[in-house]
Amino acid sequence: MGYLTLAGAIAAEVAATTAMKYSDGFSRLWPSLLTAVGYVVSFLLLARTLKTVGIGTAYAIWAGVGTAAIAVIGLALFGESLTLTKVAGVLLIVGGVVVLNLGGAH
């Protein structure tokens, strides 16, 4: 159940971050509200996750998957460029999450 709530926390965080881009510096009401609600939901679900999943593992997955997802959304929705540096950064993040899950974050 912990990893299911973690997936929800990641989805809420990614939705909130995407809405923040659409909020235009918090000058648009609905995207701004979605940003706030999304982050509250994300933190609530992350806190619930920590009841059953180690903090290092949970946070690494939450931050890593969220960062990778936002990088892909930036490419797909906002026309951001794909550079070798960005690809390397995302691969390093994913690699770090994998290493932590193999035993470094219990």
pLDDT digits (tens), the chain, 106 positions: 899 999 999 999 999 999 999 999 999 999 999 999 999 999 999 999 999 999 988 998 999 999 999 999 999 999 999 999 999 998 998 888 888 878 755 5
The pLDDT of residue 106 is 52
pLDDT at position 37: 98
Q: Quick one: pLDDT at residue 99?
A: 86
For residue 98, the model assigns a pLDDT of: 85
HEC string for 44-82:
HHHHHHCCCCCHHHHHHHHHHHHHHHHHHHHHHHHCCCC
pLDDT value, residue 104: 58
pLDDT of residue 105: 53
Neighbours of 30 (CB within 10 A): 10
DSSP labels, 2-60: HHHHHHHHHHHHHHHHHHHHHTTTTTSHHHHHHHHHHHHHHHHHHHHHTTTS-HHHHHH
